[in-house]
A and B are shown apart, each in its own frame.
Chain A
């Protein structure tokens, strides 16, 4: 007979499929698992990807080792916070073995509030993160810092208001974009540009983004719906990204193309679902959910994108949350499939998204659609890709 004292030996009601030692409390990809196995699974999936970044940024054999430095884009949402947490624990684990840290990390949060005053709430949140991760450097950079960065061709956007303060200039620029979708789109691109620009300026080898499988799936279809099918592989795959420089062209249009800068862009959470990240955030000790600010407190796009008008990005995020609920593998498959598309590269880059321009495609499309009547004169010379043309000019 089994007594209460022997409970430890008692057969488990629902043992974890992985370790068989603990009660299963979570479902990991249809398998019942215990808390430890679940968090370990998420952790190792992410760390494997971090390992790939490390391997890819290794100097060639025989060459002296270079100090590695990455930028981690922190949106203060669940995904990027989990990424930050895992990367931090990974480095901690290595340091505790008495080895050197494999890389330095710059955690950068872009303040998209575009306000004339310091964003105190964001600063407080950042302070919470700093206390939580004392070894890390958490910085807040205002979005206004994007103004004038060389990887964007500022002449292809609405002209900036003269003699105005930068928040004012940026707000004015957004207000002149044609729709909520355009504003959300340009905001996303600006944030991305600023992170990449910061990483390049600091000599970092890679930028890490916290996109989950679900986010990448939604991004895939959203960019498709915005006409960016051509540059999709550049946007959602891991790997080297060439970064254009439009500043030298302004000074001397005949100057030869400057040496192309490149940086690695990686999505270490690409194999983890959004829902799993939510669960993970609740399972850590102390729960990450406690430091992640409520969404309305951060309000990423609220300043420029009204909540009344839905953007394509939002439609897609909702759709994918729905698909993930019932068909998670289909979401993962979308991301895997897009990864198979080739990346075509050319010298000419889009002035706004910075991706390769598809001249043959543009020419053919114009021929087939017969555009030109609708005030689109000079569309071909604007130096924008189809999707950015749509976002900037409607």
Chain B
């Protein structure tokens, strides 16, 4: 049997079956297709401007390593004129970061990029190991997630950089969409899908250039480009909503590879259906979506707990929902005479051009964005989450609930 030829160049032997659409490609065509797609994402969303200083959130993992490699390649090839810097966070977890930080250091020399490592200890006065020692293994992912989100921004600020790119891929976004549906969190759902969070009004803008790239293709790219990356799971990572969503997505991808991208698409569309969310999902134009609390941007760095509670997260929510259901049950007798009305035929139909701004529209997840009184980081509360948690830690007792 003659070897299958690459579907793109039709000369080389096809060695790779693209996870995204099962197209058969040769090695070099796969690499160029992958890079072209990221380039397309960058240009269509107008992520960068010439001369922009951009920090790459680098963990030493496959996603951020591929992001750094691709951005360096594209920056040179398409003359973006970007000033790229690697920015790493050291959570202070022994054995977890030590090796990955070594990887990042090697990446810095390989890609000839400056590297800045910011430690939790210098930002907050606590390493994660110390936090775990103080509060135990349960719930510490809340701290890690909250601290990490700010850490990248604070680190970027220290370097005078206003744009951080992260390695979140299509699988991460799809996972977040499913997770927020399971959690019934529409406000987060509407935020999590946008490629850019934060805009000109906030100090630091975040974007995810690999938003449409499949995790499997990222691994393939790293493999074929022989990139130097470090793979490990956070040693404290628990199973929760995200874990459940992750398992589901892996199953769906097996059944229909396009499912991941289809979920991302669904998520973007649903974001526009969330009442009182005027935004288009990408913030690429001037009248961009408001900088809805990027502090709470869905995807947590370690991808395990999303900066929320750990372990029995699903069980906790189940319990909470049951309690409110029981409370509802008590109300039934009072309201029994007036069964809840479904809106009149036309009332629940919103015409397309009018983006559900009707006065009767329900307000969901409406937050006014301010800054934290203590650290100046953007926050919808007077004091940001990180400062709240720190206060608890510094009083030497765990914070019960945010």
Contact = CB atoms under 8 A, between A and B. Distances in A.
Contacts of B270: 224, 229-230, 232, 341
A302 B89 CA distance: 53
A323 B345 CA distance: 34
B304 to A, nearest CB: 19
Given A315-B252, A329-B321, A337-B181, A343 B266 contact: no
26 contacts: A29-B325, A48-B339, A180-B255, A221-B178, A221-B182, A221-B248, A224-B181, A232-B273, A240-B349, A309-B255, A312-B256, A315-B251, A315-B252, A330-B182, A332-B325, A333-B321, A341-B275, A342-B356, A342-B361, A344-B272, A344-B351, A344-B352, A361-B265, A368-B212, A386-B262, A390-B258
Contacts of B37: 370
Interface stretch (B40-48, B106-114, B393-401): B40-48
Nearest to B276: A342
Interface string A307-348: 001111001000100010011111011101110111111100
Contact of A365 (B181, B265, B352): B265
Nearest to A238: B342
Interface in A221-238: 221, 223-230, 232-233, 237-238
Contact of A221 (B45, B181, B185): B181
A342 B274 CA distance: 6
B322 A329 contact: yes
Contacts of A238: 342
Interface in A340-394: 340-346, 356, 358, 360-361, 364-365, 367-370, 374, 386-387, 390
A230 B339 CA distance: 29
A52 B342 contact: yes
B40 to A, nearest CB: 4
A343 B280 contact: no
A226 B318 contact: no
Interface in B242-287: 244, 248, 251-252, 255-256, 258-259, 261-263, 265-270, 272-275, 280-282
Given A329-B321, A364-B282, A370-B40, A338 B275 contact: no
B212 A369 contact: yes
A368 B352 CA distance: 22
Interface of A: 29-30, 48, 51-52, 55-56, 179-181, 220-221, 223-230, 232-233, 237-240, 262, 309-312, 315, 319, 323, 326-330, 332-334, 336-338, 340-346, 356, 358, 360-361, 364-365, 367-370, 374, 386-387, 390
A46 B212 CA distance: 43
Interface string B110-137: 0000000000000000000000000000
Given A227-B266, A344-B350, A368 B256 contact: no
Q: What interface size band does chain B fall in?
A: 35 or more
A171 B248 CA distance: 31
B269 A361 contact: yes
Interface in B269-310: 269-270, 272-275, 280-282
Given A224-B263, A312-B252, A344 B273 contact: yes
B21 interface: yes
A326 to B, nearest CB: 7
Main SS class of interface, B: helix
A88 to B, nearest CB: 21
Contacts of A237: 348
Contacts of B364: 340
Closest 5 CB pairs of A and B: A229-B266, A227-B262, A329-B321, A337-B184, A230-B269
Given A330-B314, A342-B275, 8 more contacts: A52-B339, A229-B267, A312-B259, A315-B252, A329-B325, A343-B273, A364-B268, A368-B44
Contact of B44 (A52, A220, A367): A367
A310 B244 CA distance: 19
A356 B342 CA distance: 21
Contacts of A323: 182, 244
Contacts of A239: 342-343, 345, 348
B316 to A, nearest CB: 10
Nearest to A319: B248
B42 to A, nearest CB: 10
Contacts of A326: 314-315, 318
